[in-house]
Amino acid sequence: MDVESIFRRSGAIKHLSLFDPDKNPPSRAAAVAMKMEKEGTDGILIGGSDSLHSEIIRRTVMSVKRRVKLPVMQIIRDPSEITKYADAVLVPVVLNSYDASYCIGIAMGAIHVLKALGVPCIPIGYILIGSPSTASFVTKSIPVPTTRPKVIRQLAIGAEGMGLKALYLEGGSGSSKPVPPAFIEEAAKSTKFPIIVGGGIRDNRSVMAAAKAGADIIVTGSIIEEAGTIKGLFNGAKR
């Protein structure tokens, strides 16, 4: 599956395996990515909330690309993290940040870098949901309370109107609870672009709930780091 196919809303659920270079040295990331490829993941996503040296990210991307045939993409928090070796780069526009840099400034800088490098850019709306997390601290965001799903409709429509290519609903890395289905439903019925859901998805029940609510792409990272497998995670969900 190529990058374009992953981000095309087709009715079939897709999966991205997320690797945080701060927690996964290049050799380990490559070895686990190979296993994820065999188990049916659709692509590899590399990125994290912590401060990372661009050289570590570059080595991780290159190491993984040597070992898998899947698209290897980045999700960045700063233009300095971009490497020309990625197949595409997801550039988040943090819609609930109170810092203009994360709303538009960083994205603008990243888009210029990617154009110069000739690397495909996928600008996405990024919304943090639930409790404060490392991601919300770093991006200076106020997470949307889990009791306010209607807020997502306004943000989703705004993101689509801005010309962004997808909407990422983030429950927070390592979160104990996934994004509530009501939030996914609001986003899916309000827009036509792909809905990405990540954070707190650790079992088949969570995957099925997200898929039923309208998620197009599911991202898992913590479960891969902890269990090293996605076997059984997508039973009945992927087609």
Dump pLDDT digits (tens) for 128-144: 998 878 888 888 888 99
Closest CA to 199 of 210, 191, 188, 185: 210
221 is in an annotated binding site: yes
Domains of the chain (ranges, CATH numbers): 3-227 (3.20.20.390)
In angstroms, the Cα distances linking 33 to 16, 71, 144, 203, 221 are 10, 11, 32, 19, 11
pLDDT tens by residue, 25-69: 999 999 999 999 999 999 999 998 775 688 999 999 999 999 999
Which residues 6+ apart lie within 8 Å of 238 measured at CB? Answer: 12, 13, 14, 15, 40
- Check: CB of residue 210 under 8 Å from CB of residue 181: yes
102 is in an annotated binding site: no
214 is in an annotated binding site: no
16 is in an annotated binding site: no
Provide the pLDDT for residue 173: 65
171 is in an annotated binding site: yes
80 is in an annotated binding site: no
Mean pLDDT calculated for residue range 114-127 = 96
49 is in an annotated binding site: yes
